[in-house]
């Protein structure tokens, strides 16, 4: 704003100077025009006024000298005027600039104080928030350090446990390479699945079931599952795991692949062997298939990855492959069937008990009705006896009283019974009624 005021003042001063310069230039132009007119007149009159040439030349020289002197004087005057105008304009501009700076400074100070107050008011919540953030950052840092220490401890514990697990896994693999241990492990897995499925009461293990095989051999199914329909499902858990366990210890991919291929071939051969045992032909209640139990999901997946047709191959020969998960689903379905059968059996037993209760109640009610009829007959006989007593015996006894032949005891005269036994009515099972009638009542039928 101050610079703009200075520029305006300078422009005004320069405009005045330029106006004076323009006026002087116009005077010079007019003088030049007059000189040019006289020169033309001189040229025109040269032929006739040769005699006056010298005078005219002198006059012209004087005029030229005068004009040059006037021009120099005019130039000096213009320089003096321009310097004076410029000095005045500069002083005026400086004064205006000082006033503008002073006003701007005061305005800027006031605005600065106002902005400072606004900024302070705006920054105060931010400062409080920054304090809260710093507190939270310190808390987070403490928590991070504590968490880092916990994670470090957990990592150390995990590393220790992994080392121990690696040793135990190696020991387990070494143990499972022994057929007896492997058989016990498979049987244990089988029993765990049966226990989880709640089928303990409907399962027999190999110590309870034997089958006569070919050439006089004895076959022992690892487990026999009893179905509620009266059929049995044979489960075999003698799966070969030698190649699979060897593959787990392999150090190279090529060696591992070779052992896994051998593992798939062993499982395929085992399926064929189970199919040839024909349990369904040797067990009277056996289903048309036998279950080959693989006690480890990864073991079955590894074989299936090498031979995707294992499941179809076994099913085509009446051998179903089951892992703990699928066997658990099968046993759960069987257990549900047993529960439905038990519910049905309970319903039949309840119906039989109801029929027996109805029969016994009918017998009791018949006897009870007979008691009612006998009570009615006894009441009638009693009333007849009372009437006979009152008409035949009591008059004689009263006569003895009158004759003074009575004893010291008073005679207790019996009273007749007016009420009779109530008729008994009970509903029948078929919706009819059994009615026990009192004396003298006739049946509605």
Q: According to the 3-state scheme, what is the secondary structure of 264-279?
A: HHHHHHHHHHHHHHCH
Torsion angle, alpha carbons of 7, 12, 15, 17, to 10: -100
Kindly state whether residues 185 and 295 are assigned to the same domain.
Answer: yes
**Looking at the structure, do residues 207 and 306 belong to the same domain, yes or no?**
yes
Do both 415 and 299 map to the same domain?
no
pLDDT score of 429 more than 60: no
The bridge status of strand 203-205 relative to strand 223-226 is: antiparallel
First to last CA, the chain: 130
Please state the pTM of the whole predicted model: 0.45
**38 CB-side CA count, 13 A:** 13
Whether the CB-CB separation of 259 and 245 falls below 8 Å is answered with no
How confident is the model over 175-218, as pLDDT tens digits? 555 565 566 677 778 888 888 888 777 676 554 456 665 555 56
The residue range of the domain holding 390 is 359-436
Q: Considering the chain, what percentage of its residues have pLDDT values greater than 70?
A: 65
Whether 184 is covered by a domain: the verdict is yes
The tally of domains found in the chain comes to 3
Residue 443 counted as domain residue = no
Tokens 């075999």, residue located: 236
Looking at residue 261, its pLDDT comes to: 92
Same domain, 302 and 384: no
- The pLDDT of residue 311 is above 80: yes
Query: Residue 329 domain-assigned?
Result: no
Is pLDDT of 250 > 60?
yes
Question: Averaged over 383-405, what is the pLDDT?
Answer: 78
Whether 222 and 216 have beta carbons less than 8 Å apart is answered as no
Q: Kindly report, residue by residue over 94-140, the tens digit of the pLDDT.
A: 776 677 667 766 776 777 677 767 777 766 777 777 788 888 888 88
| Radius of gyration for the alpha carbons in the chain, expressed in angstroms and rounded | 68
Q: Which of 192-206, 278-292, 297-311 has the lowest mean pLDDT?
A: 192-206
Answer yes or no: do 192 and 308 share one domain: yes
Residues 190 and 96 in one domain: no
Pick from 439, 378, 386, 372: nearest CA to 414? 386
By percentage, how much of the chain surpasses pLDDT 90? 2
Q: What is the pLDDT of residues 164-176, one digit of tens each?
A: 666 555 555 555 5
């Amino acid at each position: 704003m101050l610079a703009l005021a200075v520029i305006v003042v300078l422009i005004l001063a320069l405009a005045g100077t330029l106006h004076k310069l323009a006026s002087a230039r116009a005077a010079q132009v007019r003088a030049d025009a007059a000189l040019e007119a006289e020169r033309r007149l001189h040229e025109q009159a040269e032929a006739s006024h040769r005699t006056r040439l010298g005078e005219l030349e002198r006059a012209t020289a004087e005029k030229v000298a005068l004009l040059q002197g006037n021009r120099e004087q005019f130039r000096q005057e213009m320089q003096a005027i321009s310097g004076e105008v410029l000095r005045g304009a500069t002083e005026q501009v400086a004064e205006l600039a000082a006033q503008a700076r002073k006003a701007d400074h005061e305005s800027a100070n006031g605005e600065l104080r106002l902005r400072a107050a606004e900024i302070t008011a705006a920054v105060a919540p931010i400062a409080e928030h920054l304090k809260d953030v710093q507190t939270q950052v310190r808390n987070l840092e403490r928590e991070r350090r504590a968490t880092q220490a916990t994670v470090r401890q957990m990592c150390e514990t995990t590393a220790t446990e992994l080392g121990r697990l690696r040793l135990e896994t190696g020991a387990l693999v070494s143990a499972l390479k022994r057929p007896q241990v492997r058989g016990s492990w498979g049987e244990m897995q089988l029993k765990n699945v049966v226990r989880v499925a709640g089928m303990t009461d409907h399962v027999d293990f190999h110590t309870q079931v034997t089958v006569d095989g070919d050439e006089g051999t004895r076959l022992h199914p690892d487990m026999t599952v009893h179905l509620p329909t009266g059929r049995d499902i044979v489960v075999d858990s003698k799966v070969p795991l030698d190649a699979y366990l060897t593959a787990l210890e392999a150090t190279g991919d090529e060696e591992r692949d070779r052992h896994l291929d051998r593992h798939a071939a062993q499982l395929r051969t085992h399926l064929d062997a189970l199919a040839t045992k024909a349990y369904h032909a040797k067990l009277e209640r056996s289903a048309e298939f036998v279950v080959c139990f693989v006690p480890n999901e990864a073991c079955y997946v590894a074989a299936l990855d090498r031979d995707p047709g294992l499941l179809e191959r076994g099913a085509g020969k009446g051998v179903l492959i089951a892992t703990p998960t699928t066997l658990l689903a099968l046993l759960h379905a069987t257990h549900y069937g047993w529960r439905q059968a038990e519910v049905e059996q309970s319903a039949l037993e309840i119906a039989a008990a109801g029929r027996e209760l109805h029969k016994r109640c009918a017998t009791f009610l018949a006897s009870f009705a007979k008691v009612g009829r006998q009570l009615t007959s006894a009441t009638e006989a009693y009333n007849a006896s009372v009437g006979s007593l009152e008409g035949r015996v009591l008059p004689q006894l009263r006569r003895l009283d009158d004759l003074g032949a009575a004893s010291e005891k008073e005679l207790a005269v019996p009273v007749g019974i007016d009420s009779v036994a109530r008729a008994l009515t009970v509903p029948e099972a078929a919706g009819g009624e059994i009615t026990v009638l009192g004396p003298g009542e006739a049946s509605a039928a």
